[in-house]
């Protein structure tokens, strides 16, 4: 899966990042390596919470698709 993120320089040093396609999915880090790792964790966490909060009727089912 490919998801675009925007990485910003933080005024106090380090970086913060947001994922426009996932509202509220933001993170921060002191280095570029850390912000990339934190983005991966934030995206996985956001998707996990979104998946758990889905309410389906009994005739629906969840499938996973890898692109």
Q: What is the pLDDT of residues 9-64, one digit of tens each?
A: 999 999 999 999 999 999 999 999 999 999 999 999 999 988 777 676 777 776 77
Query: Domain coordinates of the chain in residue numbers?
Result: 6-51
Nearest CA-CA partner of 16 in 42, 40, 35: 35
Q: What is the pLDDT of residue 60?
A: 74
Helix residue ranges per DSSP H, the chain: 32-52
DSSP for residue 30: S
């Amino acid at each position: 899966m490919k998801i675009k993120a925007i990485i910003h320089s933080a005024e106090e040093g380090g970086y913060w990042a947001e994922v426009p396609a996932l509202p509220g999915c933001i993170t921060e880090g002191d280095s570029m390596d850390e912000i990339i790792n934190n983005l991966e964790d934030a995206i996985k966490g956001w998707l996990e919470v979104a998946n758990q909060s889905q309410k389906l009727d009994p005739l629906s089912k969840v499938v996973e698709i890898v692109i």
